[in-house]
Amino acid sequence: MTKFSVIIPVYNVRNYIEQCIDSVLAQKQGNFEVILINDGSTDGSGELCDCYAKKDMRVTVIHQCNKGLSSARNNGIQKATGDYIILLDGDDYLDPEAMKHLEKIILKKEYDFIINHFILDNEGNGKKYVNSYQFDNMLLRSENPLQIYKSLLKQKFTFAGCLFVVRRDFLFQNQLFFYPGLYHEDELWVPYLFINAKKIACNNKNFYYYRTNRIGAITQKPNIRRIFSLLFILDHLLEDGKSKKYSGEKENVLCLRAADIYLALLYNLPEYQSEKEYTQLKRKLRGKQKVLLYKGTKREWLLYQIISFLGLEPVVFFIKIRKWIKKYGSSAV
């Protein structure tokens, strides 16, 4: 029977961590371990984790000073003994039959990783929203990582690290760990899963409950470091994509993802116009617009031409107007 290692970074999630851990311990598939990494919590989360470890031998707690999500995940991966790694954030939780469905897939064949579904749990209104996305028959039949990745890119799939259940040996063989100190660390980690994998699978069953609009969540707080992290990831993907290390389809995959990162940076630029680093942000983006041509669409070609001849400011102005219309347009009419 496959053994799963569930790695849960814990940082000041006292109000949520019990539901998170309980969702794992209640799994119908019984062969797993839970590794809790207390990342310097100050709200009693760490003490609560210790209580679980005392009651259940399947639970291990690692205490570390606050180093961030990447470091906590890496620490857990190093300590894991399972065949497959499940990444679970401390304010989220698993579907009751998550491991049962995974076990059925893995019994058929050993995959490097499995891509899964999520359900949004909106704390703001107390409602749950089932992800409408379904892996189509082509994706369910295919085991080709690059083919699947390109298809998911076109369909704007959410490439969150928690949706990937990854074979532990595959991670170590390819040294696929999280880059410490980054925001949006999944954006750098996920593309390298695909270009190093040989066989992957897609799972259409409910798997992960992702909590949104949580008060105090780090993703809700504007932070200039986020956009600099995206810049770092963009440069890293472009450098590897253009290097001799990867070629052909793998180069194309890295540059396609880099193009998406570039678009995300453009979309978020208006939020930082009042920041002193704004000029630096624009300077770092200058000359990188050519990556948009990898998308192969008229829209990105036109955007490339505008930035090349007129610079970033007309695009930033247009994005600001578009955001304003989206936010106030209907009420202003």
Tell me the per-residue pLDDT of 19-31, one tens digit each, with 9 for 90 and over: 999 999 999 887 9
Query: What value does the mean pLDDT take over residues 211-217?
Result: 69
Looking at residue 299, its pLDDT comes to 93
Query: What's the token pair of residue 165?
Result: 């259940």
pTM (2 d.p.): 0.91
**At CA 161, angle to CA 144 and CA 142, rounded to 5?**
15
Query: Which of residues 309 and 328 earns the better pLDDT score?
Result: 309
Does position 193 have pLDDT exceeding 80, yes or no? Answer: yes
Q: How far apart are CA 153 and CA 165, in angstroms?
A: 19
Q: How far apart are CA 298 and CA 285, in angstroms?
A: 21
Looking at residue 29, its pLDDT comes to 81
pLDDT in tens, 91-101: 999 999 999 99
The band of 243, judged by pLDDT with boundaries at 50, 70 and 90, is confident
pLDDT-above-90 percentage for the chain: 68
Looking at residue 30, its pLDDT comes to 77
The band of 132, judged by pLDDT with boundaries at 50, 70 and 90, is low
pLDDT in tens, 133-184: 678 888 888 889 999 998 888 888 889 999 999 999 999 999 999 999 999 9
The band of 45, judged by pLDDT with boundaries at 50, 70 and 90, is very high
Query: What value does the mean pLDDT take over residues 71-96?
Result: 97
Q: How far is CA 120 from CA 127, 160, 206, 327, in A?
A: 8, 13, 11, 22
Looking at residue 305, its pLDDT comes to 96
Q: Alpha-carbon Rg of the chain, whole angstroms?
A: 21
Query: What's the token pair of residue 6?
Result: 């569930």
Q: How far apart are CA 33 and CA 186, in angstroms?
A: 23
Looking at residue 333, its pLDDT comes to 44
How far is C-alpha 196 from the chain's CA centre?
17
Query: What's the token pair of residue 106?
Result: 């893995």
The band of 121, judged by pLDDT with boundaries at 50, 70 and 90, is confident
The band of 216, judged by pLDDT with boundaries at 50, 70 and 90, is low
How far is C-alpha 267 from the chain's CA centre?
19
Q: How far apart are CA 74 and CA 42, in angstroms?
A: 21
* Edge-to-edge strand ranges of the sheet holding 59-64: 59-64, 32-39, 4-10, 84-87, 164-167, 113-115, 200-202
Looking at residue 158, its pLDDT comes to 87
User: What are the strands, taking DSSP E only, across the chain?
Assistant: 4-10, 32-39, 59-64, 84-87, 93-94, 113-115, 118-122, 127-130, 164-167, 200-202, 208-212
Main-chain dihedrals φ then ψ at residue 40, nearest 5 degrees: 75, 35
Q: How far apart are CA 62 and CA 46, in angstroms?
A: 9
**At CA 195, angle to CA 167 and CA 94, rounded to 5?**
40
